[in-house]
Amino acid sequence: MAVPKRRRSRSKQKSRVAANRWHAPLFQPCGNCGAPVPGHIACPSCGVYRGRKVFNVEL
Ligand SMILES: [Zn+2]
């Protein structure tokens, strides 16, 4: 059975664990209406994604 040659330092271990940790999505203001929208998602208030209307918002 393979055995690790060296023990990982505490900071190395922590940074590896931190990379897999869940973090809240970053909200950016919509380019069309300015509402905060998470990345890679069409704006729910105006339906625009990357300057193109992808769906109509029902009122
Ligand atoms: Zn918008």
Q: 22 C-alpha vs ligand 1 centroid, how far in Å?
A: 26
SS3 47: coil
pLDDT averaged over the chain? 90
Structure tokens at 55: 């769906």
Q: 56 C-alpha vs ligand 1 centroid, how far in Å?
A: 11
**What predicted TM-score, i.e. pTM, was given to this entire model?**
0.54
Of 44, 22, 46, give the one whose Cα is nearest residue 32.
46
Q: 24 C-alpha vs ligand 1 centroid, how far in Å?
A: 20
Q: 44 C-alpha vs ligand 1 centroid, how far in Å?
A: 7
Residue 59 scores a pLDDT above 80: no
pLDDT digits (tens, 9 = 90+) for 17-39: 999 999 888 999 998 899 999 98
SS3 41: coil
Structure tokens at 10: 């505490």
Give whole-number Cα distances, 59 to 44, 45, 46, 55, in Å: 12, 10, 11, 13
